[in-house]
Structure 1
Amino acid sequence: MSFRSPPASAAWRHLDARNGFEVVYFRTGGGHRMQGCTTAVEDGEPWIVDYTVEVDDNWLTRRASVVRRGPSGSDEVRLETDGDGRWWVDGEHAPHLDGCLDVDLESSAMTNALPAHRMGLPVGGRAEAPAAYVRVGEMRVERLEQTYVRAADDDGRQRYDYAAPAFEVECRLVYDPSGLVLDYPGLAVRAG
């Protein structure tokens, strides 16, 4: 079962790890463009992250721009990839990201849609999905090893057992028919 095209917009309430809200707008045609914003309070400090992520028709990340605003000002990071796993961060080749096909933003529940769409796993299928991971606080881009295992669907909703060993995270992600996360335990729930 493949996913439908994304809706015009989506939103999540961020819980537990931070208190906040995320809104994203989708544009489709010649790939997909996602423009979003997360506002949150984490460890007593408020911040805002604006992002744009562009993927091709196969959901391979092509470029991303992330701007963080906080009490000390704003920072921006730009990522580009050739779609074959070579990355550039702010125009400089980033060999530590070689082999990554997705971008993952610490501040976003939306970015977990990218590998789910791209992989198209059958029930029981498993895939490694390393990502170019943007940390919000330091605006640092690092490699994040991730694994997705497709569990049985539940009432038309795809479910994946997700693991990110670097953060000691193992959970089940539930997706709506358009491939957007409905529930990311400990992080976010879909609000619209």
Structure 2
Amino acid sequence: MFTPLPSSAAWLHRDARTGFEVTYFRDDARGVLIEGFATAVEDAEVWAIDYRLRLDGSWHTRSAHIVGRYPEGRRAVTLQSDGLGRWQVDGTPAPELDGCLDIDLEASAFTNALPVHRLGLAVGDAADAPAVYVRAADLAAARLPQHYRRIVDGDGQRYDYRAPDFDFRATLDYDESGLIIDYPGLATRAA
């Protein structure tokens, strides 16, 4: 179990890109509302992402509104889920995303907290957690297979994380409220 979320958190993005992310959390009768902002320079490209995520009480992503700002202009996308893994992208059904319960924003270190909260894994347990992956550069949404295995804990929780489509594997460290502290090659918690 995790302690309650703080009112805000921030991450310094490093290695893969240079930037910063800030999130604000609010619990209400419908679940959790997360509002966040990420800005970065990645591969000599500049972008800024503004996101608003709505989670239900079980930490299933129910909606996401994402706005990207780029040198050539602004883009936006809205994703909605029934909470059972069926999605719409800008109002159009997206059956290729069926079975995804979480959203994973490429621009965000925070969104790797969603499956960890939702799954509630005990030490040694593992689960697949496919997510709707939204790219920072163009806000395109695609299915991303992911796998989490909870490993020995310290002050918080640790997970062996794999994203096979990117041939990526890392140990992710989370604090007592379930927010990522260290995402190797991507971000470290700043506040």
Q: TM-score, normalised by structure 1?
A: 0.98
Question: Residue 130 of structure 1 aligns with which residue?
Answer: 130
Question: Residue 105 of structure 1 aligns with which residue?
Answer: 105
Cα displacement (A) at 1:136: 1.2
Q: 1: distance between equivalents of 2:102 and 2:4?
A: 18
Q: 1: distance between equivalents of 2:53 and 2:38?
A: 14
Question: Residue 162 of structure 1 aligns with which residue?
Answer: 161
Q: 2: distance between equivalents of 1:136 and 1:176?
A: 25
Question: Residue 171 of structure 2 aligns with which residue?
Answer: 172
Cα displacement (A) at 1:32: 0.5
Question: Residue 35 of structure 2 aligns with which residue?
Answer: 35
Q: 2: distance between equivalents of 1:39 and 1:115?
A: 23
Task: For residue 5 of structure 2, give the secondary structure of its aligned residue in structure 1.
Answer: coil
Structural mapping, 1:9-158, within 5 Å: 9-30=8-29, 31-154=31-154, 156-158=155-157
Q: Deviations over 1:133-178 (max 9, x none)?
A: 0011121000000000000111x21000000011111000000000
Aligned residue-pair number: 190
1:6 aligns with 2:1: no
Q: 2: distance between equivalents of 1:171 and 1:45?
A: 25
What stretches of structure 1 move > 4 A for 4+ residues in a row? none
Q: 1: distance between equivalents of 2:184 and 2:98?
A: 29
- Unaligned ranges ≥5, structure 2: none
- Unaligned ranges ≥5, structure 1: none
Cα displacement (A) at 1:46: 1.2
Q: Deviations over 1:23-47 (max 9, x none)?
A: 0000112210100000100111211
Q: TM-score, normalised by structure 2?
A: 0.98
Q: Deviations over 1:70-110 (max 9, x none)?
A: 10000001000000000000000000000000000000001
Task: For residue 54 of structure 1, give the secondary structure of its aligned residue in structure 2.
Answer: strand
Residue type of the partner of 2:12? R
Q: Give me the identity figure in percent.
A: 56
Cα displacement (A) at 1:54: 0.7
Task: For residue 68 of structure 2, give the secondary structure of its aligned residue in structure 1.
Answer: strand
Task: For residue 150 of structure 2, give the secondary structure of its aligned residue in structure 1.
Answer: strand
